[in-house]
Amino acid sequence: MAGKSVEKSIIAQNTFTDWITPKSSLYEDMETAHFLNLSIAGTWAGIVTLQRRFHVADTPRDVETFTENAEESLFDHESGVEYRLGIESGNFISGTCLVRLGA
């Protein structure tokens, strides 16, 4: 089965990927795990924010911020959550930031 991903080339503030739901997997040592890969690349300056929401009408919550390129794997115990990655208003300085979330 092919994975799903969202990505964005950011050159301005208040720019985010679309929302994405982590991939669900079953493992022997845990009930259900939800995984998401995060990638931040490029030559840029600013603050990239990972946000989570629990349903479509929910207000996004800041989970983690980044000030440099990063590659991470995320894990969430809760099903039905969604994530997005981007730069909030006032947090873009310069350059092009390439962000990607993949499940």
CA distance 102 to 30: 21
- One digit per residue, pLDDT tens: the chain, 103 residues? 456 999 999 999 999 999 998 876 655 555 666 788 999 999 999 999 999 999 888 899 999 999 999 999 988 777 788 999 999 999 999 999 999 999 8
Q: Kindly report the pTM of this predicted structure.
A: 0.87
**For position 29, what pLDDT does the model report?**
55
Task: Domain count for the chain, please give it.
Answer: 1
The whole domain housing 23 covers 5-102
Burial class (CB in 10 A: 0-12, 13-18, 19+), 99: buried
* Residue 38 · residue 51 · CB < 8 Å: no
Between CA 70 and CA 13, with CA 7 as vertex, the angle to 5 degrees is 80
CATH of the domain at 40: 2.60.120.380
Q: Scanning the structure block, which residue is given the tokens 């911020």?
A: 65
